[in-house]
Structure 1
Amino acid sequence: MPFAEAPLLAREYWQGKLKGPVICSDLGWYTKGIYPVFLMQFMLISLFYVVLRILLRPLRQPQFVCSVLAGFLVSPSVLGRTKIFSASTFPHEELLLVRTIGTLALTYLLFLLAVKTDVTVIQRSMRNASIIGSSTMLMTFAALLLMIQTLSLPGIRKGFFHYIFAGIVSLTRFPNVVYAFNELNIMTSDLGQLAMSSSIFSEVLLWAWLFIGIYLRYPAQFIWSILAALGVILGIIFIVRPLIMLIIQRTPEGKPVREFYIMSIFIGSLLVGVLTDMIGSMHFGMLLFGLVIPNGPPLGSTISEKIEAVCTEVLMPIFYVSIGYNMDLALIDFKITSEIFLLTLVCALTRVVGALSAALFCEVRVRHCLLLGLMLNIRGPYDVYLLNRWFIKKDIDNQTFTMAILSDIALTAIVTPLIDRFYNPHTRLIASIPKCTRSMQTAPRNVEMRVLCCVHNEDNVLGIISLLEASNPMPESPICAYVVHLDELIGRTIPIMVPYEKQMTRVRSKSSSQPIMRAFENYSNNSKRLVRVKPYTVIAAYKNMHEYICRLAQEEQIPLIIIPFHGSRDTSNVMELVAFRNLIQNVRIYAPCTVATLVDKGTHCYPSKASSISCAVGVIFIGGTDDREALALAIRMVGQPNVGVAVLRFIFPSVDGDLDGKLDQKLNDELIGVYRAKLHITEGCLYHEVAVEDSDQAMSHIRALKDKFDLIMVGQTRRAGSLFSDNTMLNWSENPELGVIGDFLASSDFCGEVTSVLVMKHHGDPSCSRHNAPNERDREYLLRRTVC
């Protein structure tokens, strides 16, 4: 029998026997060529996806749209109609393998998202999320059910399935929202987290709707289904959960989780999925199993690292191939097309109205209510999976399936760019920065000085404590240090910022913040109450961390942010190094105050119980806002016992400057005058002026400072057009973000492992008052952090 007749035999053989995803077993001689076709499709969909991403990037299209379109292009209805590939190239029985792998990918994707989900996000915003989620779902369900009953829609099975179709389509799936928001970079926003909380509530409604459907369709089996589900839940809570916690306890701090434990969890999750599949839903068991695993390190982050790349980059493309297999544009009828598109439009508009009315009740601004409605309209892989399952079970026909998929693509393709355009996180941060930002120059010297200290790891602790102590905390001007531990978002879906005490009450596993916060707490106790510490932990992706840092600085009226710097010579983790340096750059761009970048070389000067500090601080002053910030901090250090401050000012030949240049020079002279006035009442402080002709002579004098100071402070940049301009010299810098002088001071040629460097950068007009803040309406939204 020729191979061309094999698809027909396969259809006859499997007709009525295929109940769901199965492993492609030995089907006989007509399975020849399936594996090569499978590999070819995988390569083609990867190629088409990359091409579509490049072409659609200017239109801001998300990954979901590109993936579904790539799967459709690989399908027999498109690629199979070309001259290069014949119809026999896509045998029907090959779909069994594709569908099985695609379902496995989606199942593991749900397990991965469950592991990364922080269930406490529901508790933090239960009221608003439940109101918005239920209102949106009920209004959309009622509108969809009315439309389905009104329109003919012959492609949708009559009877009780109308209620199932309207109920499921009216929900917003949490996994879809997470992937879209991560791509849009709005997961850290208040509105984004409210939308994710609402989608989590929709997931709860989905499982409730599942049991309601069982009761209405199979009342005799309802009790057994409830008992079976309760048995699975209790088994996971009282058997699986203790075993998971035992694995965490047996993992030494700082050590990776054993491979045996990881493989046992992967196999156990599949076993639970098989058991819950017997009661109606494999995803129910995978979701519960993932939720009982604590997110983050050590276990949650390890599972995410092991499975995420394989699931999203290898297995998920095959899922989209299975979707494209069932799409056929040749069967589309105009009447069906218009009705499905009308149904999708009514669903989208009703969801916006539902979110708008509920969000207004929760006192959310109108503009953000509309954006929230758009966010809840995002579609994703779990929506098309349900449509594909309904098509396989003959609940919907091919025309309805194809148009429903295209409608979801069109809706997401329209909604996503609108959200990206009108709810950009960088735009929000720029709007939150007042025209007059806070600075060290305008910070009053007779009140408490607030400093935000960013800590990346334990190596940064001693250097920041030394700088705080050198900043001269006094009874009339104590220091309040907001210590923020920057923890990368690994093994979690939702970024958070919490006070350290609250984090400890909700995290049972060992925290990397403990030794860091203990060190600052000990320093605060030994400072005779002159230094007060408020600890925080930020758990977010590096690309989003600057939002939390800048918001905290804005809300608490902080004039100075201290953030550590890791040089380019540190190659222990190149990807993390690049991400952290980008974080520093983002903080400098969007901070509402001065940002001090500390290059810590290991020379620390802070007091213990039995000794006092001894520290030599140098300031290189050329002029400009950033240099004045360094000098203002040095003025505060004057008077600290055993801290000697020396200011080296370079005087260039006078040139005819504009009005801004003259004002800048006046501000320089005034601040120098304040410092020189303190020299008469304080010993150990120096001031020296050096006349130089050009920048080369200035650099020569800077080289002479080698090994003479424990800490050197300098501004990052100067006014454009000055004789010491950075525009041309930055091309030769190893770390251009430190500026020309800062990069030279931080280099091993200058200070080696002896002298630390503090580079000051101020964004805004420093002549304005630190008390200038945004209006109360903007403050209520812009400065609000995650509620814990």
Structure 2
Amino acid sequence: GGILLGPSVLGRSKAMASIIFPARSETIIETFTMFGVMLFLFCLGVKMDPATMLRPGRKAVVIGSSMLLFSLVVLLVLATVLQNHVTMGSSLKKALPYVAGVQALTGFPVISSLLIELRIHNTDLGRLAISSSMVCDVIGIALAAIGTGIGDSGGRAAASGLSIASAVALLLIVVYVFKPLILRMIRDTQPGKTIDDATLMYVVVLVLLTGLAGESVGQHYLGPLFLGLIVPDGPPLGTAIESRLELFTSSLLYPAFVSVSGLRTDLFQIRYESLSILSAMFGISVLVKLGVVVSAALFSKIPFREAFVLGLILNVKGIIELVLYNVWRNGRVLTTELFSLCVISTILVTGIATPLVKALFDPSRQFISAKRSSIQHSKPNSELRIVVCVDSHDSIPTILNLLEVSHASEESPIAIMAMVLVELIGRTTTMLVCHGDRVIDSSSITSGHIINAFRNYEHHREGRVTVETFTAISDFDTMHVDICQVALDERASIVIVPFHKQWAVDGQVGKVNRHVQIMNLHVLEQAPCSVGILIDRGIVRGTLPILTSESTFHVAVLFIGGPDDAESLAYGSRMAKHENAIVTVIRFLLFGSENTKDRRIDTELIYEYRHINMGNDRFVYVEEVVRDGAALASFVGKMVDGYDLILIGRQHQASPIFMGLEQWSECPELGILPDMLASPDFESTASVLVIQQQRVGGTLLAGHAVQSAIYPRDQAFAPTTGPRDEAGRSSWSISIDKRGRT
């Protein structure tokens, strides 16, 4: 937009230029944009994680340092060769080393913004790109501070040392003077309260003071960045900056700065001599950085495709380069012609690299699996591997009961991967933390008491249950990537995620989180295993722990047919082995559909599971014949209160059995009947686990075969199909005991 309004298009008309941007407004606009850059860099510093900068991984160090140092050496040598062997103007000869130096840089804010825009910032590749750019920035800022000091002093050793010492002094003042002030502001804020406007204004004043101090020692805009780095993330201050300053800065001040850069761009001043020399410089810099990154990534055992994409990402230009170009233009290092060429190169490189990254890298592709990972298709007596996602400590009792009733035994233990989901606020660096055996202080982090609850459960079930704990810190729009990655790495059979509605004690919906709903839809679409959505009503019923009580836990499996119900049946069959659980399988049959192929397949499946549970009094099978959706809803409404947990498949084939229920569906992630069970109008205190069986290659698994010992057929176990109901009754039921008696 700035280029269109500037001298390249509309601004070529002096009359139009005087109307849009009169000469007297230039100082005001420039001051406004300088303030915007300071606030932007401060907010950027708040989002950066100093721990990541100080303790980067080996791959990030190798890629980031080699990219910067090798590119810098090659480009500075190229600049020297061009200066000595190519005829050029004095202004271009003077500017060439500066342009070469900035091409070697890779700005963390630029990379972070790109990855967030493409929604890949919490993938392994995205985290590596951010860490590598941070390493590059740390080295680059140090070299830039030294270079600026030497440049401003005219190369005199004493003056250069004084300038560098001033930059170090600025950093020390920020750490030992301003940081205590900020920490005191945080301490003065009452627990649970937000930062007031007066305190936030004091912070803005500190930003201006550090900006002034940075300018006075020749380190342009470095002070606000340092100040942002020492601000603690999260509430109360980090959250307040994110919610109040970030929107104002990113939506108004940052675009204003970019627009002013466009206003200063004049394409008509570009000459062929400068165009050819700088184009060669820009092109070679892209190729050199791409080659160095790909080589370093391959050395770090990264596949070529991902290495190439990483090279494209780290070539992207943005705000950092524009800031330097504007500083050099104001300092007369760059003429309007050279400034225009640099701005255009930034636009072109980013405009070409971004769609290429989007086309070449799809994070969901890695989760597509041709291998079956579901409860139904697990081997007999194999370890059940479950990923459990928790976003609130209120759901812990229900989750622990679900895990306990899953029946961990010495023959078939359970491996639990507990993921605490924490929304990313006040930081741009997403994190997936594996806690291992470290002691977690419940008062130090929000997720501490949740993690300790799972560890206590592991201690009570020692030898039968193993627990591995994670904390995923990300925004909910991309949280599914972490969940699916853990499920893939840990070879999970099922992922259990929370429902986006939380119930209050009075039975009404107390809290709704639409971000969790979006996350669940993504998990259902991309998960490499089966998925369960847990609708937790434990707070309504008053959950008693199965582990420490002798009470019976009643589970209902609602079976209509299809792969998702088959997975629910497999899970319920496992639960029936628990000594304190009674599992009732309720099969709904459509009146008059005895001879359909799908019904025969489902009958075979149920027959096999009844054989597996032969002699088990805790496994009960019931059939219910219904005519339509009204009869189905009526029966379900009458029976659900007798159960603590209901298992049901997510999706079913279109059938008259759902007639009249489709229009009431509100939650697409649940399916028709589960949606009814999750409705606030449905009077029930039972928790519900809505299960989707793994999709292999994006489709349902073929067939319903059970990976268990199959016993010889006994006709006494064949379910009985009743005659047609000529009396016009909507439904009737048949109960069959373990010996086949009705």
Normalised TM-score (structure 1): 0.81
Equivalent residue runs for 1:12-161 within 5 Å: 70-75=1-6, 77-81=8-12, 85=16, 87-122=18-53, 125-145=56-76, 146-147=78-79, 148-149=82-83, 150-154=85-89, 156-159=91-94, 161=95
Q: Distance in 2 between matches of 1:368 and 1:679?
A: 48
Is 1:420–2:392 an aligned residue pair?
Answer: no
Task: Tell me the secondary structure at the aligned position of residue 484 of structure 1.
Answer: strand
For the pair 1:197 / 2:135, whether they are aligned, the reply is: no
- CA separation in 1, counterparts of 2:109 and 2:446? 28
Letter in 1 for 2:172: L
| Structure 1 partner of 2:740 | none
Give the equivalent residue in structure 2 for 1:473.
408
Confirm or deny that 1:490 pairs with 2:418.
Answer: no
Q: Do 1:155 and 1:396's aligned partners in 2 also have CA atoms closer than 8 Å?
A: no
Contact 2:103 2:282 (8 Å CA) reproduced? no
Measured after TM superposition, the shift of residue 151 of structure 1 is 4.2
Using CA pairs below 8 Å that are at least 6 residues apart, which structure has the higher relative contact order?
1
Cα distance in 2 for residues equivalent to 1:336 and 1:105: 31
Q: CA deviation at 1:242?
A: 4.4
Greater shift, 370-379 or 245-254, is seen at 245-254
The answer as to whether partners of 1:568 and 1:735 remain within 8 angstroms in 2 is no
> In the alignment, which of 672, 681, 700 is matched to residue 606 of structure 2?
672
Corresponding residue to 1:365 among 291, 303, 322: 303
SS at match of 1:738: coil
Residue 199 of structure 1 deviates from its aligned partner by 1.5
Aligned to 2:602, what secondary structure does the other structure show? helix
Aligned residue identity for 2:624: V
Q: What is the letter of the counterpart of residue 321 of structure 2? A: D
Kindly, what percent of the aligned residue pairs are identical? Answer: 33
Which residue pairs with 2:240 in the alignment? Answer: 302
Relative to structure 1, is the Cα distance of residues 222 and 310 closer, same or farther in structure 2, using a 3 angstrom cutoff?
same
Shift of 1:269: 2.9
Closer, same or farther: CA 708–466 of 1 in aligned 2, 3 Å: same
Q: 1: distance between equivalents of 2:389 and 2:395?
A: 9
Summarize deviations over 1:152-209 as a string: whole Å, max 9, x none: 44374545x5433321222111111111111111111222222222221221232222
Check conservation: 2:376, 2:566, Cα contact below 8 A.
yes
Question: Shift of the alpha carbon at 1:280?
Answer: 1.1
Query: Which is further off, 532-541 or 646-655?
Result: 646-655
Cα distance between partner residues in 2 of 1:174 and 1:717: 44
Q: Secondary structure, in 3 states, of the residue corresponding to 1:317?
A: helix
Following superposition of structure 1 onto structure 2, how do residues 215-226 of structure 1 map, counting pairs within 5 Å? Answer: 215=150, 217-226=155-164
Distance 2:194 2:439 in 1: 22
Structure 2 unaligned blocks of 5 or more? 696-700, 708-742
Partner of 1:472, secondary structure, is coil
Match of 1:9 in 2: none
Q: Displacement of 1:722 after TM fit? A: 4.6
Shift of 1:143: 4.2
Q: Are the counterparts in 2 of residues 360 and 366 from structure 1 also a CA contact under 8 Å?
A: yes
How is 1:350-499 mapped onto 2 (pairs within 5 angstroms)?
Answer: 350-426=288-364, 428-429=365-366, 432-499=367-434
**Aligned-pair CA distance for 1:508:** 11
| Residue 87 of structure 1: how far off its partner (Å) | 2.7
Which residue does the alignment assign to 1:759? 690
Give the drift of 1:122: 3.7
Q: Distance in 2 between matches of 1:508 and 1:608?
A: 24
Q: Check 1:523–1:410 CA distance in 2 against 1; reply closer, same or farther (3 A cut).
A: same
Amino acid at match of 2:422: D
How far, CA to CA, are the matches of 1:200 and 1:756 in structure 2? Answer: 45
Deviates more, 1:679-688 or 1:100-109: 679-688
Q: Aligned letter for 2:279? A: F
Contact 2:385 2:493 in 1 (8 A): yes
TM-score where L is the length of structure 2: 0.85
How far residue 239 of structure 1 moved from its aligned partner, in angstroms, is 3.9
What is the CA-CA distance between 1:495 and the residue it aligns to?
0.7
Q: Is the 8 A contact 2:167 2:219 kept in 1?
A: no
Q: Name whichever of 687-696 and 452-461 sits farther off.
A: 687-696
Change (3 A) 1:238 1:653: same
Q: Confirm or deny that 1:749 pairs with 2:685.
A: no
Change (3 A) 1:297 1:96: same
- One-letter identity of the residue aligned with 2:303: R
Report the CA distance shift for 1:155/1:630 in structure 2 as closer, same or farther (over 3 A).
farther
> 1:543-596 deviations in whole A, cap 9, x for unaligned?
21111111111111111111110239998776xx22210100111111111111
Q: Who is 2:265 aligned against?
A: 327
Secondary structure of the structure 1 residue equivalent to 2:692: strand
Counterparts of 1:623 and 1:78 in 2: how far apart (Å)? Answer: 66
Q: Are positions 1:552 and 2:490 aligned together?
A: no
Q: Indicate yes or no: 2:529 matched with 1:598.
A: no
Over 3 Å counting, the alpha-carbon distance change for 1:529 and 1:306 in structure 2 is farther
Give the match for residue 523 of structure 1.
457
More deviation in 561-570 or 368-377? 561-570
Question: C-alpha displacement at 1:496, in angstroms?
Answer: 1.0
**CA shift for structure 1 position 678:** 5.8
CA distance in 2, matches of 1:465, 1:568: 17
What RMSD over aligned residues (CA atoms) do the two structures have, in Å? 3.1
